[in-house]
Chain A
């Protein structure tokens, strides 16, 4: 049972570089989410996708873009990484009408 799979698990970027974080779920969930987790801040929503073909901004969308490629996959792109984007990023998914969110194992990103 794979659940929610994120790649890569770790990444170091130089300031100004770009990269895409990948997320895939095999539970046929409609909604998918990207969060960042920083010490003392809990989880903050970057973007979410309520269904295939739709995306919406969350609390902290600046500096990020997303793509809901299909029902399974939801990617997060950093076009020009900044040190303030150093964080642990989590992808989550949820079945429509169901409260529980399922999370991936996270991507630890360091921007130097």
Chain B
């Protein structure tokens, strides 16, 4: 059972454009994380959001946790080629992490 659905699955944009990736679930999570994965590597944590409605900013990346703690979004402002990668959300329930289906982002110079 896939608890977390991400959209879009693929995204190809020009350098300088803005984009938003969505992570949706019918389940409530104690916290939600966003990871970024490069080819041939394991995922690396970008951010953890814990409180419903929480907004965190990491340079050009803005993360929001839904009020009901069931969904999240990642917004990138002025995307750069270095942002290219696979973005994964992960919901935390106790000791388990449930990962989303992933969004593959390509930023074209």
Binding site for B on A (CB under 8 A): 4, 31, 33, 35, 40-45, 48, 50, 58-59, 90, 92, 99-101, 103-106
Contacts and interface: CB of A to CB of B under 8 A. Distances in A.
Interface in B9-35: 9, 31, 33
Interface of B: 1-2, 4, 6, 9, 31, 33, 40-45, 48, 50, 88, 90, 92, 95-102
Contact of B99 (A4, A40, A43, A100): A43
Contacts of A42: 2, 4, 6, 88, 99-102
Contacts of B101: 40-42
Given A40-B9, A43-B99, A59-B1, A99 B92 contact: yes
Given A42-B101, A42-B102, 17 more contacts: A41-B101, A42-B2, A44-B2, A45-B98, A45-B99, A58-B96, A59-B98, A90-B42, A92-B42, A92-B97, A100-B33, A100-B45, A100-B48, A101-B45, A104-B42, A105-B40, A106-B40
25 contacts: A4-B42, A33-B97, A41-B2, A42-B6, A42-B99, A42-B101, A42-B102, A43-B43, A43-B88, A44-B99, A45-B96, A45-B98, A45-B99, A59-B1, A92-B42, A92-B97, A99-B50, A100-B33, A100-B48, A101-B45, A101-B90, A101-B97, A103-B42, A105-B41, A106-B40
Instruction: Return the 3 tightest CB-CB contacts between A and B, nearest first.
Output: A103-B42, A43-B99, A42-B99
A13 to B, nearest CB: 20
B25 to A, nearest CB: 12
A62 to B, nearest CB: 14
Contacts of A92: 42, 97
Nearest to B99: A43
A103 B99 CA distance: 13
